[in-house]
C-alpha cells in the first residue's frame, strides 16, 4: 500500500506527462490556427468543440464523470482558442 508521499510522487509524474501532452496539444492548436488564418476560417468553431466534447465523453474511463471531463475540456479549449487568437 502506497503512503501519501508515494501518491504525491505518482501525481508529480502524471503532472509532468500532462504538461508534455498539453504542450503538444497547444503546438497542434497553433498549427491549426495558422491554417485557419491562411484559409480565412474562424478561430471559434462550435461544431468542432461539440465533437471534441462528445469524443472525450465517449473515451472517458472514469472516475471523473462525463460532466467533469467536459468541464476540464471546456477550459482546455478556451486556452487553446486564446492561444490561436494571440498568434494571429
10-residue block means of pLDDT along the chain (88 residues)? 96 98 97 93 93 97 97 97 85
pLDDT score at 85: 87
Sign of CA dihedral 25, 38, 50, 54: negative
What pLDDT score does 87 carry? Answer: 74
Domain boundaries, the chain: 4-86
| The pLDDT value given to residue 88 | 65
Give dist(CA 33, CA 80) in Å, integer: 9
Query: What's residue 67's pLDDT?
Result: 97
Architecture of the domain delimited by 4-86: Up-down Bundle (1.20)
The model carries a pTM of 0.89
Among 85, 55, 88, 81, which Cα is nearest to 70's?
Answer: 55
Tell me the residue ranges of DSSP E strands in 1-88.
none
Residue 29 CB neighbours (<10 A): 20
Length of the chain: 88
Amino acid at each position: 500500500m502506497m503512503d501519501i508521499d508515494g501518491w504525491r510522487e505518482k501525481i508529480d509524474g502524471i503532472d509532468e506527462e500532462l504538461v508534455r501532452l498539453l504542450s503538444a496539444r497547444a503546438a497542434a492548436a497553433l498549427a491549426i490556427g495558422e491554417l485557419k488564418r491562411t484559409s480565412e476560417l474562424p478561430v471559434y468553431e462550435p461544431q468542432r468543440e461539440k465533437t471534441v466534447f462528445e469524443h472525450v465523453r465517449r473515451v472517458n474511463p472514469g472516475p471523473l464523470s462525463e460532466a467533469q471531463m467536459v468541464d476540464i475540456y471546456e477550459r482546455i479549449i478556451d486556452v487553446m482558442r486564446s492561444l490561436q487568437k494571440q498568434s494571429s
